[in-house]
A and B are shown apart, each in its own frame.
Chain A
């Protein structure tokens, strides 16, 4: 889905070509587990349980019932292979989750199952000792054993998938910062030229590469301050350097006057950023937190119209933030799908919905490809904010799921 989306996007804009290949590399692994949530009828049918047996393609069922105090599984021993956990919350009122643990590692998770509802979680388990973890129950840990020959897994382990994701992200950051340097050079050239319109176009072309990896760049606060600062209350525009000093000259004053030295400094700063980010490494939780941080950027900087106060190309920045976040999620998606397929599906669907909202703001007549932010109505801004929050919320719970996986 993402590979398809990003390919379509890449066709729209050459600046996004890199993303397609990365999405494809992350998208080759299919879902292993599937969740469905449904309201229970008052008479709950108990699914039949297959006796432990070695091998075979049979799917075995584990019935888990949550009540006000207890978390109960119908058996303590199961056969290796595909196991379907049918989890019913009868009357446990806290916002509930059930995890399937091996040691402290989360293999699978179902979150937010309200009383009166049930859901299923499918996992492929080999022989060993496991536990159901039901936070809040008196017996919060319910141990169970899997015996027999392990069914062959179709794809790599969750851990391997997540480690691969961190390596892919390292490449992504290197590529994006490389492109930032590449597109800052023509901006500098234009600032030293004599056409404001050319410089404006170069400014617009360079911005997304910083915004896609903004949380990484912000780790270097000295560079972030000189590249991306905006004047604070009491500061004048001459007290800042970087993109927004350029933006003010190009879009408010509509003049190249005095911008060449600012451009020189900007190019040297983004080159310094390139040097410092080239050997950064990441943990799976860093990726999840980065995805969340990018959406925070959207909510707190772009949707307020503060980021690009002179050019009003906030939607372009916002789209780049969202793409950066979506990229991080796409990299985590295969691993997350093994742990919590329900959440993975929800986030993917809500990113798609957010894409649709952003697509509604496209404007081929504008050099940024999107409408200027000051033309949006209050209702359009509200819809956008809602779509962002709808992704932000489940995304904010991903780090805890992948941190020990």
Chain B
């Protein structure tokens, strides 16, 4: 093997690597939650160093991809662990950690100068692309905490299995899993590259159970972002937890000292729901009904009791006929913190389509709902129970997939890995 020659391209990569590290290192101090500010607001020196390689810091107190301003695309997957050997699982989590730290900098996961006789270490489709604010967020499903790896006593009480909600039509093949990976980027190829390489690195140790690609973020998680629209054509996530609001993050998103499992401090809980919309039916519903179902005006996003998007909904307001302006079964009323003991979720969902449902000829499209929270028992579960029981929107949606994952805190530095404290 031509050792000396093989080292050359890697040496170039190495220098590029160091440059990028410097860039994100500088940016940690500037951005909030490890986020490098977008091109417009980024300090010029960072811009010069990083060029167009927009990267979000990988190492930090919390994993990126939660309070990071939502990127345009998601590639999400759940994996099942197939090995019975805890050592192999730990090595996989170590390998994923190392690979993630490089991909978020826009680097291939291994030496670029592979031997001609061996398959390349990195699959290559993200070479030359900017990471486009790639974040990789890894978590653990409740099924990992069984007897296989001796983790039963490490299962956090908050990592509940979700109850069956009214109207659920869940496909087990699109639900749950031992591990989850959320890759978000403004470039769909960069996001997919993560899942493909993670699956490859996991061969013989874990297999992909399901995956979901999402286009079009349906939530804004920063005050700097415009509120996007979901496939129903309505603005979504107006009243979301925002990255800039550190007290809301502490109250509703990050696990603190209240946890029964010290390894989860600084982490969060992720709930995913694949929510198919009966799009064709919705599209034939008249505008007034659509707005009554949601509780907002379709064009502006303002609550039916207001004029501007960010006007506070007046849930008590009645019209001349004495009826509630925001109807009793409207979506925003039932989802509002005021209806739910003040509880909120950090929503980070994406629109999806998986093409045509061959049996019906209808579009299989909707919302891949992702929400982060401090404790699903006090947040997602009661909120969803309320929605499942009474939301007018239920006529137009079907929950077809579901997952709950414990998201451990961020990695401190190279040599740290996902779950090191859990297994430690």
Q: Chain A interface (Cβ within 8 Å of chain B)? A: 37-39, 68-69, 89-96, 99, 101, 104, 106, 112, 114-117, 131, 133, 135-136, 138, 140-141, 285, 346, 350, 386, 389-394, 396-397, 399-400, 403-404
Contact = CB atoms under 8 A, between A and B. Distances in A.
A297 to B, nearest CB: 17
B364 interface: no
Contacts of B414: 68, 90-93, 115-116
Interface string B33-74: 000000000000000000000000000000000000000000
Interface stretch (B97-105, B232-240, B303-311, B372-380): B97-105
8 closest cross-chain pairs (CB), A and B: A114-B94, A95-B110, A91-B414, A400-B118, A390-B204, A400-B117, A393-B203, A140-B7
A294 to B, nearest CB: 16
B121 A95 contact: yes
Interface residues on B, range: 35 or more
Contact of B95 (A106, A114, A285): A114
Contacts of A136: 7, 10, 13-14, 110-111
Given A37-B91, A91-B415, A135 B7 contact: yes
29 contacts: A39-B90, A69-B14, A91-B414, A94-B98, A95-B95, A95-B98, A95-B122, A99-B1, A101-B3, A104-B1, A106-B1, A115-B98, A115-B414, A116-B414, A116-B417, A135-B6, A135-B7, A135-B113, A136-B7, A136-B13, A136-B14, A138-B11, A140-B3, A141-B4, A350-B204, A389-B203, A393-B200, A393-B203, A403-B115
A227 to B, nearest CB: 29
Given A95-B99, A96-B110, A393 B416 contact: no
Given A114-B97, A399-B118, A386 B14 contact: no
Interface in B161-185: none
A116 B115 contact: no
Contact of B111 (A37, A69, A115, A135): A135
B207 interface: yes
B320 interface: no
A68 B110 CA distance: 13
A29 B116 CA distance: 29
B149 interface: no
Interface string B74-118: 000000001000010011001101110110000101110101111
A386 B3 CA distance: 33
Given A92-B414, A93-B102, A393-B204, A116 B118 contact: no
Contact of A397 (B7, B119, B122): B119
A141 B6 CA distance: 11
A400 B115 contact: yes
B349 to A, nearest CB: 28
Given A386-B82, A397-B119, 15 more contacts: A39-B94, A94-B102, A99-B3, A104-B1, A114-B98, A116-B97, A117-B91, A117-B94, A136-B7, A140-B3, A140-B4, A389-B203, A390-B82, A394-B204, A400-B117
A300 B168 CA distance: 37
Contacts of A397: 118-119
Given A68-B414, A94-B98, A104-B3, A116 B420 contact: yes
B2 interface: yes
A94 B111 contact: yes
A116 B111 contact: no
Nearest to B105: A93
Nearest to A41: B424
Contacts of B2: 104
B98 A93 contact: yes
Nearest to B10: A136
A39 B417 CA distance: 10
A393 B120 CA distance: 12
A322 B180 CA distance: 32
A141 B204 contact: no
B18 to A, nearest CB: 8
A350 B82 CA distance: 12
Nearest to B8: A140
Interface in B254-291: none
Among B7, B11, B415, the most chain A Cβ lie within 10 Å of the Cβ of: B415
B89 to A, nearest CB: 11
A37 B119 CA distance: 23
Nearest to B204: A390
B416 A39 contact: no
Nearest to A405: B1
A115 B415 contact: yes
Contacts of B413: 91
A37 B205 CA distance: 15
A54 to B, nearest CB: 29
B1 A396 contact: no
Interface in B361-390: none
B57 to A, nearest CB: 14
Nearest to A382: B207
Contacts of B118: 396-397, 399-400
A106 B11 CA distance: 21
Nearest to B94: A114
Contacts of B102: 93-94
B277 to A, nearest CB: 26
A84 B102 CA distance: 30
Interface in B196-222: 200-201, 203-204, 207
Contacts of A94: 10, 98, 102, 107, 109-111
